[in-house]
Amino acid sequence: MIHFENVGLRYGMGPEILRDMTFDIPKRSFQFLTGPSGAGKTTLLRLLFMSLHPTRGIIHMFGRDLSQIPRAELPMLRRRVGIVFQDFRLLDHLTTYENVALPLRVRGKEESSYRNDVIELLKWVGLGERINVLPAVLSGGEKQRAAIARALMDQPEILLADEPTGNVDPPMARRLLNLFLELNRLGTAVVIATHDLALMDQVDARRMILTEGRLDIYE
């Protein structure tokens, strides 16, 4: 589904943050992306989200060479990728329901056509009772589940999560992990960037370890 070949990236005239990255993200796969702070996890996720172009190397997204895709087409391709952040990035003036429905709203869909789907998804992530609540009232775990629901709303083929458990307590981290596993079981590829070893130890999954810009993969 995603293929990186000899990808390297440097910011400005600085040193290479990522070096000689060659790997695949297969369909329906589950993997952790880990490494010390500053190793380039977020940069790699940005590359996976097509938000950043590599300085060198080739990236194939969904069978297409990224360098050959016009910029105007990128939003369409990004719709096949869901992304979740440590700081949730929910819009404070919108309710949980409106935040989760945002991906469908930007696609120009009528509210009546997706209302039930959004409510079902919110129930599925355990926010059925928090539909009309603003993010300020939600707990950290609830915010993260709302952010996950938003990322899943348009049925992405891959979900990228950047430190999704960074702002929640261990029991909630466990619940979120279960949510990701359930999602993967249903067919979505998942990449979780984390440096939480305890979280990774709970699942026997592929580990992509970034150290000083280089990537080692343990299947």
Partner 1 sequence: MNELSRPKATKSAQSQKPESEQQAQPAGQKQARRVEMRVRPTAPILPPSNIQGNALMVVIAIMAFLACLTLGAVSMVRATASSWQSQISREITIQIKPDDGLDMNAALKKARDLALTFVGTREGTIMDESATARLLEPWLGTGLNLADLPVPRLVIVTIDEKNPPDFAGMRDLLKTEIPQAFLDDHRTWVDRLVSMAHTTVLIGMGVLVLVFTAMILTVIFATRGALSGNRHIVEVLHFVGAESSFVAGEFQKHFLKISIKGSAAGGALAAAMFAIANMWQANSLATPESDQASALFGSFTIGMGGYLGIFATMIVIALLTTLTARFTVMRTIDEIDLIRSDPARSDGLSAS
Residue numbers 99-128 binding partner 1 by CB under 8 A: 101-103, 105-108, 111, 115, 117, 119-121, 123-126, 128
Report the C-alpha gap between 131 and 112 in whole angstroms.
Answer: 16
Nearer to partner 1, 120 or 212 (CB): 120
Contacting residues for 218 by C-beta, under 8 A, at least 6 apart: 206, 207, 209
Nearer to partner 1, 132 or 211 (CB): 132
- Please count the residues of this chain forming the interface with partner 1, following the rule CB under 8 A: 72
Asked if 69 and 77 touch (Cβ cutoff 8 Å), the reply is: yes
Contacts within 8 Å (CB) and 24+ apart, 116-121: 117/153, 118/153, 121/149, 121/152, 121/153
CB of 64 to partner 1, least distance (A): 16
Stretch that binds partner 1, among 57-65, 179-187, 201-209 (CB under 8 A): 179-187
Stretch that binds partner 1, among 3-11, 57-65, 198-206 (CB under 8 A): 3-11
CB of 18 to partner 1, least distance (A): 9
26, 93, 212, 218: which one contacts partner 1 (CB under 8 A)?
93
Altogether, the residues listed in the chain come to a count of 219
Amino acid code (one letter) for 59? I
Q: Which two tokens stand for residue 131?
A: 């539909």
CB of 37 to partner 1, least distance (A): 6
**Strand ranges in the chain using DSSP code E only, listed in sequence order:** 2-10, 16-25, 30-34, 56-61, 64-65, 81-84, 158-162, 189-193, 206-211, 214-218
Contacting residues for 147 by C-beta, under 8 A, at least 6 apart: 84, 85, 88, 89, 90, 99, 164
46, 60, 109, 214: which one contacts partner 1 (CB under 8 A)?
46
Residue 211 interacts with partner 1 (CB under 8 A)?
no
Give, to the nearest 10 degrees, the angle between helix 111-124 and helix 140-152. Answer: 130
Residues 23-42 that bind partner 1 (CB under 8 A): 37-42
Residue 95 interacts with partner 1 (CB under 8 A)?
yes
Site mask for partner 1 (CB under 8 A), range 69-88, x = bound: --xx--xx-xxx--x-----
Nearer to partner 1, 20 or 157 (CB): 157
